[in-house]
Chain A
């Protein structure tokens, strides 16, 4: 569009697309930013304030009376309220939970028993008394501190080790890799037969595959659970195994695989196959040497779909795979954490980001094939 025709309408388009993009990316951005924040800050302020200094209400306890020293005839307990916190500056303080911010930093507060408390902006404090102080429990000091923004990988370290996300990451890979690769070869041969080998009943089989594309997974769960339990009991093996879930994912992924590959192969030029056949190549040779290499884009599309689907799947995993440490997949672990750690956003955000990072990498690096696969799988119906 040349500049002369740039109307307010063009700006409106730019603005509305910008707004929509923001709407679609902010949720994920918020998750990523939150997962990198200090967990104390995350709990009290929104992620959009991550770069600004926040204020935090903190309680500290002064050391007991045994640490007091005598100075100029007075008894003094001193220390630093900021010790051990990430906070930078004290703005206000108090000595009772009812008025935690009664005094500004640098002021002197008169405690109930005649002692005087002073807290400086840098966190150092003094309790001064004319008489010797008693009691081993120190005075509680409430204060409001300004906390500089702090980013850390602590949350990731914690979830990877303590919350079992690391183990689940391996489990998810264990589920997804064979479940992605095994169906490809099976589907490719079937798709070739459906695309290029004439035989009676071919049209019906294609219709069946198209029909099976939309069969809800829910229909398969109960009978297969029964079947797996039966097979497990018969052979004396556990009913919930990796082999079981690989086969299940293979079965559920086949209709899409066959459909995508058949559509693609049917679009390949007939002349190539005919000339190969004239040269004496068998169907097997034609398939392996010509069709399979030519179908690479369709194979890649399906592999991406299947990988995303098996990695992101929750339902098949919780029905056909156990919940032990070496079996629970990432999505299952995340659902469990939502239940047990519902308020601990530092754990949830970091865990969630680990579960979505692999699909996101796949998505951004192989988006081309994903789009092509989507178009081949859907537009054709219209």
Chain B
């Protein structure tokens, strides 16, 4: 409890500190360059100066935090990836060479590509289908809320939920895992699902699809509602059936949104870590890049060179999407 009081106290201090900073700097700026009650020339000169300085006062704390916590680390991670495990001696590209020859790394890359192929596709697909279906029924909003709900659950919590579903008991005893119970009910043999090499990847992916479908559904549902009625009406008059309207009229109009959903989930997939750590910790050939990176960060006292090199690989995979996002944002700003 004491620490909670400390937390709330710090929070208030932080907020008051920020407020004091913003108010104080503005006040000082106006004191040095007063524009009120001065003659025309001086007032307009001072106004110009304060207008040039004030944005930077407003931006300073944010820029400072962004620099320390994101920009500086990105540069330093690249630097670390070219140095040895303690980050002291320059070793050139040897961390990257090690990586290419490391079986576990290649396994992780392979698994990550599997994740990239499956999770965004399935989550977007389910999201689109559910968005389209729930728009037609009276209890659609309730259904959407329930499907959206896993979004609030932590990856670790979701891992526990699904580990319980995949739970395995020896053949002949009663299964308490839902999946094995179903398999046994249909006359199959129970399996220890998350220990099956290759296939276990898909059982882990199911968790992320389960979490992310709600996100895709919410965004795509809004996009579907934004489609002009006339296009659909025109298609109905022309005699198009339900499938044709959906795939030939509606989907093409929301390609942009589908792409945004797809890329957002793709970024998330590249960083997937908690699920793998909690379910298998990379055992049974289910390793992924983010977990491998975390592993090397602390393995044997920590190998910062190799850990940073793996992080750089993740970053490189993200860059195309980053560029695409920036170009889209720039295009949109011009439209403003």
Contacts and interface: CB of A to CB of B under 8 A. Distances in A.
Contacts of A351: 160
Contacts of B54: 193, 197, 283-284
A162 interface: no
A170 B3 contact: yes
Interface residues on B, range: 35 or more
B59 A205 contact: yes
B150 interface: yes
A215 B315 contact: yes
Q: Which residue among A30, A44, A219, A313 has the maximum number of chain B CB atoms within 10 Å of its CB?
A: A219
A21 B157 contact: no
A363 B149 CA distance: 7
B257 A9 contact: no
B240 to A, nearest CB: 15
B165 interface: yes
A123 to B, nearest CB: 23
B66 A345 contact: no
A251 B68 contact: yes
Interface residues on A, range: 35 or more
A373 B7 CA distance: 26
A190 interface: yes
Contact of A186 (B65, B150, B164, B326): B65
22 contacts: A24-B149, A27-B165, A28-B161, A174-B4, A177-B7, A207-B326, A208-B66, A212-B71, A219-B77, A221-B294, A221-B311, A222-B307, A227-B68, A247-B65, A251-B69, A254-B62, A315-B274, A331-B157, A331-B274, A355-B157, A362-B152, A363-B148
The 10 nearest A-B residue pairs measured at CB:
A251-B69, A382-B256, A312-B154, A223-B76, A190-B62, A363-B152, A178-B11, A352-B160, A193-B58, A220-B73
Interface of A: 1, 9-10, 13-14, 16-17, 20-21, 24-28, 30-31, 34, 42-48, 170-171, 173-175, 177-178, 181-182, 185-187, 189-190, 192-194, 197, 199, 202-203, 205-227, 242-243, 246-248, 250-252, 254-255, 258, 266, 280, 282-284, 287, 308, 311-315, 319, 326, 331, 334-335, 338, 345, 348-349, 351-352, 355-356, 359-360, 362-364, 367, 370-371, 374-375, 378-382
Given A16-B133, A25-B149, A382-B257, 15 more contacts: A13-B136, A17-B137, A17-B140, A17-B143, A45-B176, A181-B14, A193-B54, A203-B333, A207-B330, A209-B66, A211-B325, A223-B77, A308-B152, A370-B151, A375-B219
Interface of B: 1, 3-4, 6-8, 10-11, 14-15, 18-19, 22-23, 26, 30, 36, 51-52, 54-56, 58-59, 61-63, 65-66, 68-74, 76-77, 80, 87, 126, 130, 133-134, 136-137, 140, 143, 145-157, 159-165, 167, 174-178, 181, 210, 213-215, 218-219, 222-223, 242, 254, 256-257, 259-261, 264, 267, 270-271, 273-274, 277-278, 290, 293-294, 297, 304, 307-308, 310-312, 314-315, 318, 321-322, 325-326, 328-330, 332-333, 336
